[in-house]
Each structure stands twice: as C-alpha cells, then as structure tokens.
Structure 1
Amino acid sequence: MGKITRAKAVIITIGDEILIGQTLDTNAAWLSSQLHQRGIEVLRMLTVSDEEEEMERAIRESLKVAGLVVCTGGLGPTRDDKTKEVLCKVSDEKLVFSQEVFDWISERKRQQGKEPNELHRRQSYMPTGFDYFRNNRGTAPGMLGEIDDSIIVSLPGVPYEMKELMTNQIIPVLLEKLPVEIAAVRTLLTAGVAESELAQELSDLEDNLPEGLSLAWLPGHTRVRIRLTSRGDDRQTVEQNLDECTVRVREILGDIVYGEGDDSLEEVVFELLKNKQLSLAVAESCTGGFIAHLITLVPGVSACFKGGVVAYSNEIKREILDVNEQTLKEHGAVSAETVREMLTGVCEKFGTDTGIAVSGIAGPDGGTPEKPVGTVWVAVGGVEKQHVEKLRLNLNRKLNIEKSGLLALNMLRLFLSRD
C-alpha cells in the first residue's frame, strides 16, 4: 500500500444490539480518543444494523470523505456476522479460506480445552487483498486493507479484543501509512463553576490562540473538562505551545482547576490531606454515605480517613453528633446551624482535624416554599474554623445526591488549598 493522503477518519459501529439499546457503544468513544491523540481527525461516528445493505452503504459513503474507515463488529462465526462479505463487495475482493487463521483459532480453542468447529472454519475465510492480524484475546482476526485512496480497518466488536488489536497491531501500521499531523492533548479538570462562566473567563485567551491551538469544552454535572489541543509539524513546538497554553489557563482560572487527565476530586483531596498530615471524617444526611463511598475508592486513604456517620434522622443527629435539639427546632435539619453542629460533632467523635457535613432535601418530596427540593447545606473544616455554603440544586434525587457529594468534596479541597 502507498501513502494515504487524508488523515481524516470515520468510525462505524456494526450491530443491531447497539441500535436497540441492548449494548452501549463504548468502542467508538475509545477509538475516537485514540485517533485524536495521534493527530487523526474523526469526522463522523456511525452506527448501522447487521443488514448487509446498510453496512455497504455506510462504508461506501465513508470512503468518499475519509482516508481511514474503522469498523467494529460483525466478525464473529455466526450467520448474522456479515462484515467480511460486505468488505468483499466494497473492495471487489473474494473470501478465501486461510489455513493460517484457522490454525490460530484452533490453537486458541485447544488452550481452552475445546476443539474448533465448523463455525470457526467459517470464521477463517478472509477477504483477499487484506492484511489480517492475530487476535490474542479472541477468535476474530483484525483486518486492514486499502480501497482506492483510503484505508479500511475491521475489528471485532468485543471491547477488550478490539483495544488490544488496535493498540498493539493496527495503530503502528496506520502511523506509517497516514500523513499524521503531530498532536498533543491535555485535559484540565474544573469543579463548581458552570461551562458558560469558564468560557467567559477564557474568552480573551481563546480569541487570541495561535494557529494550531484549540480549546474544547466537555461539561458534566458539577465538573467541566477543558481539552487543550496543540497541532503542528514539529514535536517540540507542539508540546511547548501546549505547555504555555496550559500555564495560561491555570493562571486565569486559579484553583477552579483541580487536576488533569484522569485525576478525581477524591484523589486530589486525599493528596491534600496526606501532604498536610490531616485526618478526615464525614457526617452525611441527604447524601446517605455517597461521600464516604467516593473517598474510600482511593487506595491508601485509610492513612487519613477515619470514618463517617449517616445521620439521616434527627434522632441520630442529636444522639450521635450532638446536634442541639433547640437548633433542630428553630432552624430545621436543613440549615447552616445544623450542619455546623454536625461538622463539630463528627470531628470531635472521630478525633479528626477536618470533616464534611451535609444535610439537604434530595427529593422528589419533602420540599417547602422556604426550602424547596434541591436545597442542601454543606459545612467543611474543623471544630475551630469552618466554611458553610448553601446549594440550590434542581435535579432528580440521584443527581442531587451525587452533585451534593461532589460539591462538598470540592468545597473541602478549596478550604484545604486556601488555608
């Protein structure tokens, strides 16, 4: 094969199980990320049924616009697996039996204590004109061929099989064949500030970015990821531009940024506690242990985290956390006064330096005009110094719980960072 002239891609996911919602398509997202990191722009992601006509139409249309088409699915041994037949139609090739592929499959089945059958023999028919790659985690080989001025890749739909083939065998070939632009990507993680507010803060920077640099916004509830991408022909320049842009964004946003890449809020909070040699306990009402759950996902957190109390009822707030009965009568369980006393109580009971206390109305019932559903009070700090905030959420019960927990962790992060 010669050098392909277009480093743009289309990803096609094949399978009725995707279209009917039986299976979630994680392959396309993963493939898109891998290609983007290597400077290959993804133009489209398509999902098509197992019908040969639909598959053929999607592949032919994709070949018109992209130098790379990556298909996943339809390579199994059963009758509804038609990808190879369609590839033969599109490329004017034929299916021929490959003894080499059959030997691979036979070896794998025997390692599992089984003998290959006629379906595995059928799976060993491969399109002429295609290179094929041994699947070290399954029986369906990967394939790569050239049609006109484009490359087409076909991979099994099982995610762990697809990822191994793509990472270790297919991508090295693609980087030789495609005119890949050098790209570097970094993702900054923010919490507690809406996408629109972040965009406003960075508007001047974004308007004056040099050629080859771009920002993208990836919002979620509570957290927003900012993806910085640098492209060019020289690796050193690309990485230098990305570093400089990262520094500038961090300067503008300050401690709104809590990490990069795969960092989690709970990991960042743990590192702060560990570095400051502080201990932590939590008192949770409406979040029902969600904050403790997040914290205990972090390996090694027992060095800092003592434990917590799910004080769902007023009785537990009084008897375990020593919240004053008069406080509950005058201000209610969902109040600044109550979470302050919950925070003091949990820090004293567990003998910790810091704590988190949360009380709110998760919904869908329990709200009043004065305290509607989504009203949550959070207190962070210790016995002597505390910070309290009122959250006004407007989500369903599950999301109100999750957002309260994440915002509470972020409040503690900011409290520790600024102390």
Structure 2
Amino acid sequence: MIVLPLSAEGGVDFSGEIQTIWGASVSGTDNNTSAGRFLLGETSFTGTLDAYYDKSSAFAEAAVSYDATSNQLDWRVNELWLDYTASFWGIRIGRQKTAWGKADGIDITNVICPKDMSSFSSMTSDNSKLAIDALRLSFTGNQFTLDAYWIPFFTPSKLPLDEGNQLRKFIIPENSPYPMSLGTIEKPEIDIWNGEYGLKVSGYFPLMDVSLYGFYGWDDTPVLDYNITAQGIQINGKYKRLSMIGIDMAIPVKEIVIRTEAAFFPQKYFSVIEQRNEISALAGVDWMPSSWTLTAQYFCDYVFGSLVQLERSKAYTHGMTINVSKTFINETLELSLSGLLNFNDLDSFISPAAEYSLSDQIKLSCGAYIFIPGSENDGEYGKYKDLSSAYIKAKFNF
C-alpha cells in the first residue's frame, strides 16, 4: 500500500492486486468437453484509491482483466463514491457495494447487489457481487444503526448470454429437439419512478446482534418466456418488481456463534404472469478453536401455492453447507474444505484448497471445484458437472 499524507487529518492510500488463475477440466462426461480442457485462464489487475480528510472521504476501485479461454479483455469500475460522516449521521453517494445478512455464501436477505454470473471465473470468485448506483443515508446511535438506500438506476445481474460462452447452455439449452434462439431481455425504463429502495436497521446488544431489512425494487434476474415461432422457440425475458422483508440474528455462546436469517418475498414473479409468496431461511453455527475455523449452515426455501405453470418441481427445497479450514507453519499455510449438499436431488459441490504465503505480498494456492450430480437428477449444482476443474492461482498485493 502507498500512502500519500495530505495533512495530520487526511491522506491518500493507493493499493492494488494482481491475480492470475488457471484451471482445467477434470470431467469428460460432456461430448463438447474433455478432461484437460482449460475452463479458467484469467489474469486481472485491481487498483484501489482511498482519499480522506477530516469527516469526508472518497473511494475508487477499478479492475481490468484478460480471459485467455475466450480471448476477451474486460475492464470495469467496481466502486466509485463520496462519503461524509458526522457524529450521528452520514451520507454516501455513488457506485458502491454493500452486503446484507449473516449467511456464508448463501443469499437470503442479501438482495440489494446483483451477481456477476457471466463467466466461470466470476461465479467462483470470492466476491461475485456487482456494485449499485445509490444514495445511502446512515444514522448511528449507541446501540442502533439505520441505513436507508435510494437506488435510482437499476443494475441487473450479468448473465452468460454471449455466443460461445461456456455457461450459455444453462440458459439456452443446446440439446432441445427444437431450434432455440434468444430474443430480447426487457429492462425497466430509466426514470425516477422505477427506482429501488432499501432499509436496514441494526441493534447491538450484549446477548445478540439483530438486523431488520426491507427492500422494494427489481429482481436482478429476468423472468424468461418461451415463445413458439415458425423458426423454433424464442426465449424472451423481462425484469419484474421484487419486494422483501427480512431479519437476521447472531448469538454468541462462549466460543460458538449461532446465526439465523429469514426473508419473505410477497407475490414474487416465477413466470411472466405467475406470482407466489416465497420464504427463505437459514440457521448456522461458527466455531473457531485455536487455528481451526468451522462453519456449518442449514438453508431452506418454500414456495406457497400450486407449482403448475412454474419452472419448479418442488415447493420445499433445502440443503446444507460446511466449511473447515486450519492454518499451519505460523499461519503461512492454510488448508480448507468447502462443501454443499442439496437434500432434494442429493447433488453436491466440493471445493478443497491450499494457500501458502510466500511473503506478506505473494500468495500461491491450488484447489478444485467439483460438481456432483444427484442419483436421479443432476440438480441445481450437479448440472454444472462438466465444469468440475482443478486450478492453480497466484496473487500479489501491494
């Protein structure tokens, strides 16, 4: 990190990260793939500029990346905002990221920022969330905080819709008996009436931390509509309104932290015209004895009413996640294992990894992403079985 002092009360910090990851398939079940085919080959640079003076600050983060598997160069502004913080209130305006909820890797109340699902490297990134253009007002008390968001411009999730994208087949099936084509994805009009709104109220008490959430905006992923034409089946999409109210709690019990989270989605769109009430929930436990870290979670989701005309075969879906890690050699080596099991189809995801710090700036790691289909159906995670891969990664921070 480079620090340029402005005065006793201010300064400018510049930091960055260079990362490269290469990964090859370990699965050959798909006729279009074979073991050894490269699925990951991305090199990226991320730069961060943090300026602050007295009660004001500004933050900028941008990244440029090159994907060797698709021969594509991409650049993006991750965050760009201004902030003013007084004794009990603050305001932040610009492109920013925020995370709701206390779940680990599972989205329950965390609906405010969309996802980047445009590539395999984005999906497997530690931070696949995109920023939103928002104005945030914050109020702080001794035991309570309140954050209110106005999001005037809608930012959808990034989907793998480009020709040649290895994930496109999960949206537009390749093995359909009828020719399938992508039509139009209709976005909300850019006007003041189509904004999004969010509210988070948090309380911090000796026995627990608790947060309440409210959101009114747009679903980050479009509802798809399949239309039969003379040329085959055309897929069109439209973004629909989304409402959510949620709650989470964290309760420390000696060395263990118990986490719970729940969200209710009234009249959520599951097709162009079909709406249903939906509830999602999670319960988890964190334990960090000595150099170990153990996390386990149970999550579930229920859709009320008939499933007829919905692209969903089960009203109640559930599963569990587990993460185990341990450090060695003065915390320079970390071994970890992450796993997810879907109880409905018994499909799963397993990710072992090892990371070694050569220095404070350089880290080398290797691991695997393994998708295992269920015994009868591929399932939500098993459908990615042909993306099972082993990888190596190098990272330099400054």
TM bucket by the smaller chain?
A: under 0.3
TM-score by length of 1: 0.19
Flag the structure with higher helix content. Answer: 1
Flag the structure with higher strand content. Answer: 2
TM-score by length of 2: 0.20
Q: Which has the larger radius of gyration?
A: 1
